[in-house]
Amino acid sequence: MSTKKSNKNRRFNQKQTVSFAGGIGKIISYKPVSNTWTYAVQMDMGPEPSFGRIGFETTIILEETELQAVV
């Protein structure tokens, strides 16, 4: 049996806005892993904090079950 999932089994697409426990972001990439999909999500920046920023963006890796579509 093949472990590769077809694209039609994915719930989310590149550049789609999603929400998760830590906030909101956009999917920048995805790949099949262990019978599910994992997604690289770039978090929304939001307003700059008073102490400034360390970097320009934060990207996190989340499993499909951790994401919700934003309508």
Q: For the chain, what are the domain ranges?
A: 7-69
Is 32 exposed, middle or buried, given 0-12, 13-18 or 19+ CB atoms closer than 10 A?
Answer: middle
Closest CA to 43 of 71, 23, 67: 23
β-bridge pairing 23-33 and 17-20 = antiparallel
Segment 54-66, tens digit of pLDDT: 666 689 999 999 9
Question: Can you give the pTM of this predicted structure?
Answer: 0.74
Segment 9-32, tens digit of pLDDT: 899 999 999 999 988 999 999 999
